Amino acid sequence: MSFEKKMKQRGNQNIDAKTPYLYEKPHRSFLLWAKIAILSGTAVLATAITLAVVIPNLNSVQKTLAPKYNTDYFAAAPKANAIQSVDASAVSRTATKTLQNLDAYFAKENNKNYVLSPASYLLAASAVAAVSDGFDLCAFGLVDASKDTKALLESWNFLYNYKTEYEEAFCEFDSGVLHQQVGGIYRFDEEKRKALADDYIATSVASLKDYHAQATDYFHNHVGLTIPIPDPQCISDSVITYGALKMKDYVPNGFGSAKNDFYVDGKTIQVDTREFGSTIFPLTLPYYEDTNYQAFEMLIEHTSLLFILPNEGVSLESISVSEAYSSFMANKKIYNAVGYVPYFHLETFAEDLTNAMKSKLTGQEVFFSKLLADDVHNNLMLSSVLQTSDFEFNRYGVSGESITVMEYDTSPEPEEHETIELKVDRPFYAISLKDDFPLFVNKVNDPSK
């Protein structure tokens, strides 16, 4: 089912209903509770009522796995009670560094649409750094990996919704990190595993036979991912780290849709677009013009899209995503604009990011000192890093999912500028931002595909 259909379907649901906490045990029926009350007396009944109120609101919940997983332990990341922003210093430390790690993947000269998530990549990387030695933290923009990982997870776990007589809207983020021990050689220390729950990092133990099924079950249930989880295809005992993010930012009344020109491979095609502004009522937005490109930011609701549009005659691959992002953030000004941007839906499955990660490790060995038992030979070598991402921008907003197997304040009045025309009519980059942090980077050569 497409995102648009899902949005329409969800729009008909009562989103004021209580959001269930993941892995919450089902409530017993009234009759069963009545029996317990009769058998156990008033004191036990009062205790049960108290637990029924408190348990769903705990910041951390545990799930006991099915018997086939033996003594496996999961700690599920909580939902924040309100929208939390990543600290500005954390953004400045990590965003550009993370984009730099991925620049080479967007510089590939091909005509394919392409999407990667700096967010899920950073979650996986910072989670490994939080429990191990052997990482160059500066290379990832990290200062305290455990603290930074926790801040990211807190910021990217919330549900904000409102409903009035006339409209309803919601913005939802779910993220999670999982360390998975495969086999028995690299043994997790039980006390260390439980301590990690305070940082919202889940851990589990699996066999070579069921590790992929177990991870898929966890992320589909805990984070709500619908995309397939890449399989590293382990052939021996190992430790796998996953970082995942799912987001939806829904615009209640939609942006509308119109057909406009888009130039690709020397041809002109008609694509679905969002038109914005007019000569009388232009749209006010942040804008920056460089020698080779224009960049502007368009608000969705709680997220935004940063469009990077090469000048005519400039190839998309010649523009560094990290440099364009940094220059825009440092130099953007408020302008009036009119134009259009295409809608698009991109998917990239099991992209190999191994070299990007290996180059950031010290000696490539990873010592899981805060996770594995002290008597375990602890010098794991990184063998593969895979990422699957799916992102869609349509008239109802944006939606994205990614897994790596690793604000607006009131805008100032615009300066006196002539209204600029921004027609995104040729290949472009589109970066999905939350509090200026890049969640997804889309390389769009043909939005019609």
Task: Show me where the domains of the chain are located.
Answer: 61-250+349-404, 258-345+408-444
* CATH superfamily for domain 61-250+349-404: Antithrombin, subunit I, domain 2 (3.30.497.10)
Q: What is the pLDDT of residue 415?
A: 53
Q: What is the CATH number of domain 258-345+408-444?
A: 2.30.39.10
Amino acid at 449: K
Q: What mean pLDDT is predicted for residues 10-37?
A: 35
pLDDT greater than 80 at residue 375: no
Lowest mean pLDDT among 2-6, 100-104, 340-344: 2-6
Report the percent of the chain where pLDDT is more than 70. Answer: 76
- Beta bridge partners, 309, equal 294
Rounded (10°) CA dihedral 85, 88, 93, 96: 80
Does residue 76 have a pLDDT over 80?
no
Range 138-158 average pLDDT? 86
Residue 268 has a CB neighbour count (10 Å cut-off) of 9
Select the more confidently predicted residue: 116 or 30: 116
Q: What is the pLDDT of residue 59?
A: 35
- Tokens representing 10 are 């969800």
Q: DSSP of 281-305, one letter per residue?
A: SPEEEEEEE-SSEEEEEEE-SSSEE
Q: Which residues have C-beta within 8 Å of that of residue 141, sequence separation ≥ 6?
A: 92, 93, 94, 95, 96, 97, 98
Structure tokens at 108: 């590939």
pLDDT category of residue 166 using cuts at 50, 70 and 90: low
Q: Which of 72-86, 173-187, 197-211 has the lowest mean pLDDT?
A: 72-86
- What is the value of pTM for the model shown? 0.79
Strands (DSSP E) found in 343-379: 344-352, 365-366
429 touches 103 (CB < 8 A): no
- What pLDDT, on the 0 to 100 scale, is given for residue 366? 76
Q: Are strands 437-444 and 267-276 parallel, antiparallel or unpaired?
A: unpaired
pLDDT at 185: 82
- Please state the rounded mean pLDDT for residues 208-232: 91
Q: What is the DSSP letter of 84?
A: -
DSSP 57: G
pLDDT tens digit sequence for 246-288 = 999 988 888 999 999 999 888 999 999 999 988 788 889 999 9
Please, which pLDDT band fits residue 143 given cuts at 50, 70 and 90? confident
Mean pLDDT (the chain) is 78
Say how many C-beta atoms besides its own lie within 10 A of residue 320's C-beta: 17
* Mean per-residue pLDDT, 377-381: 75
Q: Which residue has the higher pLDDT, 410 or 428?
A: 428
Distances in Å between the Cα of 439 and the Cα atoms of 55, 116, 412, 436 are 32, 9, 25, 9
CATH topology match: 61-250+349-404 vs 258-345+408-444? no
| Contact predicate 142/217, CB 8 Å | no
Question: What is the structure's pLDDT at 84?
Answer: 67
Contact 142, 134 (CB under 8 A): no
To the nearest whole percent, how much of the chain has pLDDT over 90?
36
Q: What is the pLDDT of residue 379?
A: 72
Q: Is pLDDT at 48 greater than 60 in this prediction?
A: no
Name the DSSP class of 372: B
Give yes or no for residue 231 having a pLDDT over 50.
yes
